[in-house]
A and B are shown apart, each in its own frame.
Chain A
């Protein structure tokens, strides 16, 4: 009876408190508080998903509307003819390229002065000129139709704006003002009538165009150089194919129908497979992620090609070969590199590396390198080099960890069997830690894909799919990336516009890409645990 009271009077250090909140003791409350904080990361991840979807999901609806107007206002119709015109332009470019080559061989051989060469090429110029001029009537029709279609689109957008205005007035409770807003719906069939009525005129012009091209082609000049004559024959072949395509264009135009519905999935496919990202254009906006995706891919590929050998090599060196003193300064050194802020690296790229690489590319004895010399200071290569510097510390640290985790006995057993150090490293240590190294590379890739400032400053920011026909030289072309486009355009777009939502969808793609990379890295590591045994 006395014992407990003595204990209380002594002031037992851990006297359990009588504090209660909602039936929980103090300890429970603290536990709940800590637990709540642990959940924050889950909540944040969920919120990121929710907000990306909330802002981005409307894009697909708006994009469908965008595509529907494209069809209904006849823009699609005009683009069919425009494609034909563009093909002709491409052929003209082929011809002028041919002329440049021809001129070079004539002057380069030292036989002719430039003036004489031009003289000799007069016949060719006449041919090229006639070929180029033949498109005139078609071009006229396209420009007329462009105006007409733009007018219909403008009218439609105007009506939509009025509708929006009325809706807002109604929402604000101003019924009278809302009723005063005049809305006259666009009658697409009536509006499109004059546009479609040009078909006979087009057919006539097309027949004339075809006739002229055939005539021009008949008296194509013969080029002196044999290899260029091959190209000339190729050109003739291309033109014949082009001419053969005319009836198809006409059929397409005749079959074109503005009432044909835009399938629901096209809003998705035109984003995911769209080859054009064109915004704020007077004609038609396109939101295709492919050029941006390829830009990101190219830059990351270049970065990884540079960073993987360096990062993994350095990890092997530090872990297996280096002395303790070397280790003590190399590790902090590389950690130091990872502390360089990306915006500083981007600035370094603009101020120093871009020019240095361009100067290097113009050194004559390096001309054999594909893509050298190049004139664009900011391109895939510049951005890739800097991103490699960002990826190396990540790859190095994680790969070094993986190498460290290989049990000592593996190494000892290998030495006991008489293997040399190099053999042990290549045949025992690296294979044993291979999945760890692969996951390090994957996480390095995640780092590179998500990097914004370096690519924004140094990748050149040209929204186009790079020209892969150039072979390896493709890495000296400028691109734009997914991260870069968000950073660049987000500040300038109208909230709630289709462009704004498109940027959020790009963010969504990035988000899921990073989750995928992370998932793969974890999977690889999990398998590795088992293999070590």
Chain B
């Protein structure tokens, strides 16, 4: 007893079994938390490390510009005068024109494994911009109505229930719906505009919920002051509510952008092509712009990871595409998180 006490001061409590048990349990919870973070980090690191080999290069300009500016093409691998050659489709054709005897050499072909992913990036940007525009207009107006105009009643409860349920509908069901309604019933075919509406309806609940929260955060006094000065409801909303809620609406909606950019299932049958030679602005007349299908990054990842074999040649485009895509989505998510933390400190009512 005395020896135990001599280690510390007199009032030091003995560590009981219960306390040890408690500490063990805490470590268990801590372990679970860090395991989750670790799993996420492993996924990120794996794709970043392997993808950076495609995206970056050791010589100036250090970024593989061809990967960002060219269209996907087939990769031809063959042995030429004892040397292993890897060539994209166009390069190979030029090479064969130069050395006619090369035409006879048997080549291993891998589709989509050469060139770049420029059309996919363009397609994804177009899809995101269009669908977010639609979703923001619809979602913010809906939130304004729900928060500013509506009085609690059966109808509003019904609307809220619909929003809640819409948020739980699987993305593939949205894809089916978009296919049935826009592609077939409206006869828009596989097109940008069909993809826009499908994606917009899918993120609608996210936008509405986020916007409503931001509107709620604007103090009631702002509205009452304005109304007391004789402004109409709309003037109050336009001048005294929306300006203060808008930063919050936009930052929370950025998470919606990440979701739109990341979803594959809804655009599979509504907007995405496996491969398309023309770029979106190569259209005869303006209206064709909306009724053309596009290539998209997430769908391209699906295609290159499931439709072509896995080896050292195809791995480059697979990891490269995943890297670029993950980078874009991660940037969007980071912006949203940082902005939100910043905003939380800015307005204090």
Quote the shortest CB–CB distance from B68 to chain A (angstroms).
18
Cross-chain contact of A41 among B166, B173, B301, B329 (Cβ < 8 A):
B166
Does A45 contact B302, Cβ atoms closer than 8 Å?
Answer: no
Residue A100 is within 8 A (CB to CB) of chain B in the complex:
no
Stretch at the interface among A176-184, A241-249, A314-322, A471-479: A314-322
Point out the residues of chain A lying under 8 angstroms from B261, CB to CB: 341
* Given A44-B204, A314-B36, A514-B170, also A347-B322 (CB < 8 A): yes
Point out the residues of chain A lying under 8 angstroms from B80, CB to CB: none
Does B172 contact A510, Cβ atoms closer than 8 Å?
Answer: yes
Residue A332 is within 8 A (CB to CB) of chain B in the complex:
yes
In angstroms, Cα B47 to Cα A38, docked, is: 41
Does A507 contact B173, Cβ atoms closer than 8 Å?
Answer: yes
* Given A38-B159, A313-B28, A487-B268, also A515-B46 (CB < 8 A): no
Does B329 contact A340, Cβ atoms closer than 8 Å?
Answer: yes
Residue B6 is within 8 A (CB to CB) of chain A in the complex:
no
Point out the residues of chain B lying under 8 angstroms from A39, CB to CB: 159
Q: Would you list which residues of chain B between 300 and 349 have a CB under 8 Å from chain A?
A: 301-302, 305-306, 310, 315, 318-319, 322, 325-326, 329-330, 332-334, 337
Quote the shortest CB–CB distance from A41 to chain B (angstroms).
5
In angstroms, Cα B176 to Cα A138, docked, is: 46
Cross-chain contact of B204 among A40, A316, A352, A519 (Cβ < 8 A):
A40
Does A34 contact B173, Cβ atoms closer than 8 Å?
Answer: no
Cross-chain contact of A310 among B32, B180, B204 (Cβ < 8 A):
B32
Point out the residues of chain A lying under 8 angstroms from B43, CB to CB: 340, 344-345, 348, 389
| Range class of the A interface residue count | 35 or more
Q: Would you list which residues of chain B between 164 and 185 have a CB under 8 Å from chain A?
A: 164-177, 179-181, 184-185
Stretch at the interface among A64-72, A127-135, A448-456: A448-456
In angstroms, Cα B37 to Cα A322, docked, is: 14
In angstroms, Cα B28 to Cα A341, docked, is: 29
Residue B298 is within 8 A (CB to CB) of chain A in the complex:
yes
Residue A504 is within 8 A (CB to CB) of chain B in the complex:
yes
Residue B60 is within 8 A (CB to CB) of chain A in the complex:
no
Point out the residues of chain A lying under 8 angstroms from B185, CB to CB: 51
Does A38 contact B141, Cβ atoms closer than 8 Å?
Answer: yes
* Given A332-B337, A341-B262, A452-B170, also A495-B26 (CB < 8 A): no
Return the chain B residue nearest A388 by Cβ: B39
Does A450 contact B141, Cβ atoms closer than 8 Å?
Answer: no
Number of residues from B at the complex interface, CB < 8 A: 93
Residue A35 is within 8 A (CB to CB) of chain B in the complex:
yes
Quote the shortest CB–CB distance from A306 to chain B (angstroms).
10
Does B305 contact A339, Cβ atoms closer than 8 Å?
Answer: no
Residue A11 is within 8 A (CB to CB) of chain B in the complex:
no
Does A310 contact B231, Cβ atoms closer than 8 Å?
Answer: no
Quote the shortest CB–CB distance from A264 to chain B (angstroms).
26
Residue A234 is within 8 A (CB to CB) of chain B in the complex:
no
Does A452 contact B172, Cβ atoms closer than 8 Å?
Answer: yes
Does B173 contact A346, Cβ atoms closer than 8 Å?
Answer: no
Instruction: Tell which of B19, B40, B258 has the most Cβ of chain A within 10 Å.
Output: B40
* Given A14-B230, A310-B36, A517-B168, also A41-B47 (CB < 8 A): no
Stretch at the interface among A25-33, A157-165, A462-470: A25-33
* Given A450-B173, A514-B169, also A334-B301 (CB < 8 A): no
Does B159 contact A41, Cβ atoms closer than 8 Å?
Answer: yes
In angstroms, Cα B326 to Cα A314, docked, is: 24
The 4 closest A-B pairs by CB, nearest first: A450-B170, A341-B262, A313-B32, A37-B141
Please give the residue numbers on chain B whose beta carbons come within 8 Å of chain A beta carbons, in ascending order. Answer: 18-19, 21-22, 25-26, 28-30, 32-33, 35-37, 39-40, 43-44, 46-47, 137-139, 141-142, 144-146, 148-150, 158-159, 162-177, 179-181, 184-185, 201, 204-205, 208, 229-235, 255, 258, 261-265, 268-269, 298-299, 301-302, 305-306, 310, 315, 318-319, 322, 325-326, 329-330, 332-334, 337
Given contact pairs A41-B162, A330-B33, A339-B255, a sample of 14 additional A-B residue pairs in the complex whose CB atoms are under 8 Å apart: A34-B148, A51-B185, A52-B180, A309-B32, A311-B36, A317-B26, A334-B37, A337-B40, A340-B262, A343-B262, A343-B301, A347-B322, A348-B43, A490-B176
Offer 14 A-B interface pairs, CB within 8 angstroms, sorted by A.
A30-B234, A41-B163, A42-B162, A336-B330, A337-B39, A339-B330, A342-B263, A420-B18, A420-B22, A422-B25, A490-B175, A504-B180, A507-B176, A511-B170
